[in-house]
Every structure is written in C-alpha cells, then in structure tokens.
Amino acid sequence: MFDALSGLPEQCIRAWELGMALTVSARAEIRQVMVTGLGGSAIGGDLLRIFAGKRLPVPVTVNRDYVLPKFVGPQTLLFATSYSGNTEETLSAYREAREKGAQIIALTTGGKLKAMAEKDGVPVITVPGGISPRAATGYLFLPTLAVLQKLGLLEPLDEQVAELSRHLQAMREQLKPETPLAENRAKQVAINFFQRIPVIWGASGTSEVVAQRWKGQVNENAKAPAYWNVFPELNHNELVGFQKPEELLRQLYIVILRDTQDHPRVQKRYAITREIMGGAVAGMDEIEATGNGDLARLYSLIYPGDYASVYLALLYGIDPGPVKVIDQLKARLA
C-alpha cells in the first residue's frame, strides 16, 4: 500500500496523459455530466463534482446505484467508472445509460466493463491495474478532467496538473514512513485515531468529498469505523449531539479539514464549534490545505488521510490492502 501511496504524484501525470490521449467528440450538446461508480471508483466522481462543479456551466452529479436518474439521456456525458470493471451496480448503470442514448466513456482497468464498451463502440480509458481502487484516485479522476478539457468544457488544466504532481512529491517526503513522528502529520493523526472513533469534518462544496474519503480510507485500510460530516450543516444538528453519553463521546477524535479559501462564515464556525465542543471528545485536530491551484489544495487534504489510514492499519496490526469483507459480499451476490 505504501508503494501505491508514494506513487500518487507520478500516477496523476500518467492519468492525465491517458485522458488526453483519448479521441473524443460530443454527439450532442452536453447538458449534464455524470459519473456512475461505487466505493473507490465513485470518489473520483466526487472529486470531479467538487472541482469541475465550480467551473462548468452544467451540473456534475455522482450516481452510486444500479439505476440512473430519469433525466439521463443523449445530452448526458456519463463516465462509467469501475477500477475492476466488474462492479455489478456500475455495469447495470452502464447498460441503462446505453439504452437511454447517453454519451458514455468507460474508465477502467478492464473486466466486463471494458469488454462491453469495446463491443458497443464506446470510448474506453484503460488505466493500469494492480493497486487498490482507493489507491487509484489519480487514475479514476484526472482522465475525466482531461476529457472535459478536450471537449472544451474546462479551461486548460495542464499547469494545475503539473503543480499537483510537484506538490504531492513534496508532501510525500513529509508523510512517508521514514519521516519521524514529530514531523509527520499522518503518523500523528493515526496515533490520535488509534483505539478511538475517528470523526472527520469538512466544508460543504470543497473538503466535503475529502472528509468522506478519509472515512472510507479508515474503513477500508484500517478496517475500523469512522464518521464524517460537513460545515455548515453539522452546526445545525450534529453539534447538539455531543452531550450524552459522556463515556462514548470520550472515544471520539475529530479532525477538521480546512482551507483558507473556505467561506469566511464557515471559517468563523470552525473556531466557535471547537470552543463549544470544549472537552467533550478525546481531542480535536485540524489539517490545513496547502498549494496554489484548486487541484493541489484538494489533494493536499486527501494525501495525509490516505497515509494516516495506512498507519492506523499498522497500529492495529492489519494489512491495509485486502478488503475481504467486500470480496465475500460480492461473491455471495454472484
């Protein structure tokens, strides 16, 4: 898992090149963009929703289901994303998208999705296999940006992608196993999460996807529970729920993912929320976004969580790679 993590800066460049290499044109005006996928493959869609949502004149949505919303049709650009290419919900959504005449692009390492798409004459972006889907966010996200750029829907992002890769290279030096605890934020977070329940808070529309990602990484890598929520919504409900039962609350450790570019009122909420929370939980920490471009800033919040979840797995004596429970469930459904 550490190899896959440390390869992310190079993965992002390769992923971008793979997307840019695709020959693509729109059959009809694109009125909405959708990513259909599950788990590690859906997170790429969420990153697209957050990043491109601020830039595109059309909505970007993520579908995590067997079925598609009614509005999907010939004016929908639909990325069918499955790292394995064998996730049944994604295959079902792909078939429905074909019936509805959507403009589909398959993003996968192979499997049934690639076979079906090639047979149907649907463009396929084939990304390298051999790592966990959740370690492949570069492969499952950046090609979608490249396609949107090629279709003229996004401004040129080549510079942002280069900065992203450089920024991740610098970050991996701080996060890698050889970097001692005192300078390694991911190790510090893992120690604070150990034998506790991680709670991750992001900001709606920006780090919300990152909070969800951290939760999924703790679940799948460390095989432990975790929960996430977003500002400002959590100030209207979750915040009230930190009063009882006191013993249980002392098992929670909260990390806030923040960015100086978050809405000023949301930034004010972070500080007030921390004050209100007082000593109710085991502890609270904050991770601050770094970098210039939005891509680098987004990944600067993701990367520490990826590493922290693997360090947490090691603290629990667990192999972060296999997700036997998911495999068993898929086998029982077959």
Q: Which positions lie near ligand PA5, rule CB under 6 A? A: 37-41, 82-84, 87, 90, 132-134, 220, 323, 326
Shortest Å distance, C-beta 334 to ligand PA5: 14
Residue 162: C-alpha distances to residues 58, 135, 137, 171, 262 (Å): 26, 19, 16, 14, 24
Tokens at residue 98, please?
């074909």
Shortest Å distance, C-beta 136 to ligand PA5: 8
Active-site residue identified among 114, 215, 220, 223: 220
Q: Please state, as a whole number, how many other Cβ atoms lie within 10 Å of the Cβ of residue 177.
A: 15
Residue of 207, 286, 277 lying closest to 239 (CA atoms): 277
For the CA atoms of the chain, what is the radius of gyration?
A: 20
Active-site residue identified among 112, 150, 176, 330: 330
Residue 108: C-alpha distances to residues 15, 38, 119 (Å): 12, 12, 15
Q: Which residue is nearest to ligand PA5 (CB)?
A: 39
Shortest Å distance, C-beta 43 to ligand PA5: 8
Active-site residue identified among 236, 244, 275, 324: 236
Distance CA 157, CA 163 (A): 10
Shortest Å distance, C-beta 180 to ligand PA5: 30
- In terms of CB distance, is 114 or 167 closer to ligand PA5? 114
- In terms of CB distance, is 40 or 305 closer to ligand PA5? 40
Helices (H), 21-120: 39-53, 88-99, 111-120
Which residues have a Cβ under 8 Å from the Cβ of 19 and sit 6 or more positions away? 125, 142, 143, 144, 145, 146, 147, 150
Specify whether 220 is catalytic: yes
- In terms of CB distance, is 87 or 103 closer to ligand PA5? 87
Interhelix angle 185-193/294-315, rounded to 10 degrees, is: 50
- In terms of CB distance, is 41 or 165 closer to ligand PA5? 41
Specify whether 286 is catalytic: no
Shortest Å distance, C-beta 132 to ligand PA5: 5
Specify whether 236 is catalytic: yes
Which residues have a Cβ under 8 Å from the Cβ of 205 and sit 6 or more positions away? 50, 53
- In terms of CB distance, is 7 or 73 closer to ligand PA5? 7
Residues catalogued as catalytic: 220, 236, 330
